[in-house]
A and B are shown apart, each in its own frame.
Chain A
Amino acid sequence: MVSILNSIDTGHEDMVHDAEVDYYGLRLATCSSDNSVKVYDIKNGGTALIDDLKGHFGPVWQIAWSHPKFGNLLASCSYDRKVIIWKEQNGKFTKYYEYANHDSSVNSVQFAPPEYGLVLACGSSDGSISILSYISETHNWDAKKIQNAHAIGCNAVSWAPAITPTSGEFRDAAKLVKRLVSGGCDNLVKVWREEEDRWVEENKLEVHSDWVRDVAWAPSVGLHQHTIASCSQDRRVIIWTSDDGNNWNSTVLQTFDDVVWNVSWSLNGNILAVSGGDNKITLWKQNLQGNWQCVSDVVKGQGQINNQ
Chain B
Amino acid sequence: MKPPPFQYAAPTSVAEAVELLGAHADDDARALAGGQSLVPLMNFRLAQPAYLIDLRRIEELTRIRTEGDTLVIGAMVRQSHAEHAPEIAVGAPLLAEALGYVAHPPIRNSGTVGGSIAHADPAAELPAVVLALDAELVLAGLGGTRTVAAADFFTGPFSTAIGSGEILTEVRIPRRAGGHAFVEFARTHGNFALVGVAAVVELDGGTVARASIALSGVAPVPVRATAAEEALTGTVPDDASIRAAVDAAVAGLSPAGDVHGGRETRTDIARSYLRRGIELALSRAGDRR
Same assembly: no
Residues of B within 8 A of A (CB): none
Residues of A within 8 A of B (CB): none
